[in-house]
Structure 1
Amino acid sequence: MRFASMLSSLGKALLASLITGTVLTFVGITTKDIFPGMSSYIDQMTDALELTINWIVIWAVPNTLVGMVVIIPVWLVLVLFGPKN
């Protein structure tokens, strides 16, 4: 129960951060305006995040497609010929 509560709080904080960041960007305030001395660090962080997301997508999409080639026909056979309730 405690883990679910922490996960819920983390989700709410991420959603609030996303909304706040969107509003600030719409107004014209960026992270470089808030932290002027950290612009190179922020650029490195965003580059690393972009590379990580790209790697995850490049890894996940082919593996998911290969899994679907096996799972979907098995599921279809089980639905069509499995026990009826």
Structure 2
Amino acid sequence: MAINLQKGQREKLTTANFTVGLGWDTNQTATGVDFDLDASIFILGENKKMLSDQHFIFYNNLKSPDGAIEHTGDNRNW
């Protein structure tokens, strides 16, 4: 099942396992300037605060301490 989110939109995830993929359509008037799209996630505790710095998962910290979240890294070859 695919979910397409818009900026600021929230979605409750009800499945235990899922994959996040990012994509975009180029602008009709593209300037030809290179760009890069990065994904990140932060894990919150019951108090809605980030558990620790290690719970911020991004291109420079690819796995959560418990291994529940894994970032596959940056791929600029698409």
User: TM-score, normalised on structure 2?
Assistant: 0.18
Higher Cα Rg, which structure: 1
Q: Of Structure 1 and Structure 2, which has the larger fraction of its residues in strand?
A: 2
Q: Of Structure 1 and Structure 2, which has the larger fraction of its residues in helix?
A: 1
User: TM-score, normalised on structure 1?
Assistant: 0.18
Higher relative contact order (CA 8 A, sep 6+): 2
